[in-house]
Amino acid sequence: MPHGSHASPGARPPRTRRQRLWQVGTPVVFLLSGALFVVSAENSDGTDLRPGRYTDLASVVRAEAGEANQLTNQVASLNDAVEGLSSGLGDRAVNRYQRQIDALSDPAGLTPRSGPGVTVVLTDAPQELIETSAEDPNFLVVHQQDIQAVVNALWRGGATAVTVQGQRIISTTGIKCSGNTVRLQGQPYAPPYVITGIGDQGDMLTSIDTDDYIARYRRDAADPDIAVGWGLELPAEAVAPAYDGLLSLSFAQPLPTAAG
C-alpha cells in the first residue's frame, strides 16, 4: 500500500469528479425530458406533432391534379359548345328561325303600329248619380268585363293592334278590377278608360255594333238612371306602341285526380 494512504481493506474507493457529475446530471436530464413530454402532450392535444408531411403533401397534389384535370376537361367541353353555337349563327336553320321570329314579332305586339283606328271611351256614371241612384251600384261603374268586351270586339273586327290607356295589349295581358280602379299589367288605372284598335275602321265598327254584351252596356249608357259613360271616336291616325312589359309565360295545369 502506498505511503500515506488511510484506506482500510474492503473500504469503498473515493468518488471521482466525473462520477459525481453523472450522478447529479442524470436526474436533471430525466426531469427535463419529463417536462418536454408534458409540454408536447399539451401542445399536440392528442395529435401527431410530426405528421407524415411528405405523404400528406403527395395526397394533396394528387387531389389537386385530379380536380385540375376535371376542370380542364369541362373547359374544353364548353369551348366546343361555344364554337358549335358560334358556327351555327349564320347557317340556314338559324336564319329560318330568325325569319319566323321577325314574322311573329308584329302580331305578338313587339313592334309599334299606327294607322286608322276606332277609339271607345268607357267611364263611370257621374258621382252625384252614384250617390243618389236607386239602381244597383254595380251598374253605375265600369268593370273589367266591360273593357274586355270592347277589346275582344276590336280583335274580332280585325284590329292589328289594341291599346288600353295607351298600353299595348298582347295575348298574356290581364285586365282586373282592383277596388274602384282597373289594374292593367300590374298598373292601376282610374276611369275614363280609353280603348283603341288599329285596323279597318268599318270592320271594327261592325264588330262593336253586333256584340250583344256591348249592346247591353250601351243601353245602360242611354238610361238616365244609370248613365255609364260611352264614347266612340274614329281617329285617322292612331298609334300603338310596342309592348315593353315582361314576356315570361306561365300556364295552369290541372292536378291528376285520384282513381275511383
Task: End-to-end CA distance of the chain: give it in Å, rounded.
Answer: 126
Q: Render pLDDT for 210-239 as a digit per residue (tens, 0 to 9).
A: 999 999 999 999 999 999 999 999 999 999
Task: Output the CA torsion sign for 23, 26, 30, 35.
Answer: positive
Residue 111 CB burial class (10 angstroms; 0-12, 13-18, ≥19): middle
Q: Render pLDDT for 59-103 as a digit per residue (tens, 0 to 9).
A: 656 666 677 678 778 877 887 777 776 666 666 766 776 666 666
User: Is 158 in contact with 199 (CB distance < 8 Å)?
Assistant: yes
CA distance 229 to 190: 13
Residue 155 CB burial class (10 angstroms; 0-12, 13-18, ≥19): middle
Q: Render pLDDT for 17-47 as a digit per residue (tens, 0 to 9).
A: 455 555 555 555 555 565 555 555 555 555 5
Residues 6+ apart with CB under 8 A from 123: 142, 191, 192, 193, 228, 229, 231
